[in-house]
Amino acid sequence: MENEIKEFFRQTAPKPADPTSFTLELNARLAAVEQIKAYRDREIRRTRRVFLIVFVAGLLVGGALAAFLILHPLTLPEPGLSPEDLAPAPWRWAAAGAVVLGTVLAAILLTRRRTPLLPRI
Amino acid sequence: MTREEFIGLATGEQESLRRFLLSLCGDPAEADDIAQDALMNAYVASASFRGAARFSTWLFRIAYNCFIDRLRSRKIQTSPLDAPAAQTVPGPDATDGRFRHEDLHRAIGRLPDKERAALLLFYMEDKSVKEIAVILEIPAGSVRAYLTRGRRHVKEYLEKWKTR
């Protein structure tokens, strides 16, 4: 009976259609997958680079500010001084400007227009 | 695994994979679509293929999972010959004494999916019980039980076919 069952399955096995079109479609799909993989890898590399740049820039700015504060210790105003004496020193304006500029640059880097996944038709 | 290596391996399995899926779902277009999905998934995951199982077993497992996913999401018709006429057994006098592809659906079309898949893998694709267990993600004992039940079912069909 086992042989009969085997023969039954052998005789009734369906024949898939011509493999040429199937293979062509498969190749096209695999090529698309490769394109997506390459795009994803590019994006991962780009994100890593941006984070590295922001990290190094933060370290440099923070280090420079810390060094500046150590080299130019802050002298607290004596009570009873005029309001002009309490006005921020020029280096403080420069530091604030650097922080703002850094933030803007980081925002521009992070939101820069990405390479399109597929070429525009 | 490079794309060329993958295509080389997949080409060797393509026919049997498509035949298995076609026997499972009955619709050539649907079967080819599932086979394409399975091969795409396999290619994406090919980096994780460690060779613990044979490539063929691994690919059939992915394909069967794709079939099950399709079955759940789109509720594909797995036994297109469920109509009353399909339940009849034509008998050898109605043909040239050979079985037709439709007989396969008549014989196993109403079996549960796993049972049908186990029978097809064992008899049509010559897979071992161990390989079927890996493909269907069930213990080898369950595969043997499915095969016993399925065999009984086919045997009954063949007996009816002979007596007509």
Give A121→chain B minimum CA distance, Å.
Answer: 25
Query: Who contacts B56 (Cβ-Cβ below 8 Å, separation ≥6)?
Result: B13, B16
State whether A14 and B104 contact (CB < 8 Å): yes
Residues in chain B predicted with pLDDT less than 50, given as ranges, are 80-88, 93-94
**Which chain B residues are Cβ-neighbours of A23 within 8 angstroms?**
11, 14
Measured CA to CA in angstroms, residue A37 lies from A42, A45, A49, B13, B151 at distances of: 9, 12, 18, 24, 45
Cα A84 from Cα A62, distance rounded (Å)? 29
Q: B102, B30, B125, B18: which is closest to A15 by C-alpha? A: B18
Residue B95: the pLDDT is: 53
Return d(Cα B102, Cα B109) in angstroms, integer.
10
pLDDT at B2: 80
Taking CA A80 as the corner, what is the angle to CA A78 and CA A83, rounded to the nearest 5 degrees?
95
Residue spans of alpha helices (H) in chain B: 3-25, 28-44, 55-74, 101-108, 113-119, 129-136, 140-163
Residues 6+ apart with CB under 8 A from B46: B1, B6
User: For residue B7, which residues of chain A lie inside 8 Å, CB to CB?
Assistant: 26-27, 30
Contact (CB<8Å) A16/B31 = yes
Measured between CB atoms, does B18 come within 8 Å of chain A? yes
pLDDT per 10-residue tile (average), chain A, 121 residues? 83 85 90 89 90 88 84 68 65 79 79 58 41
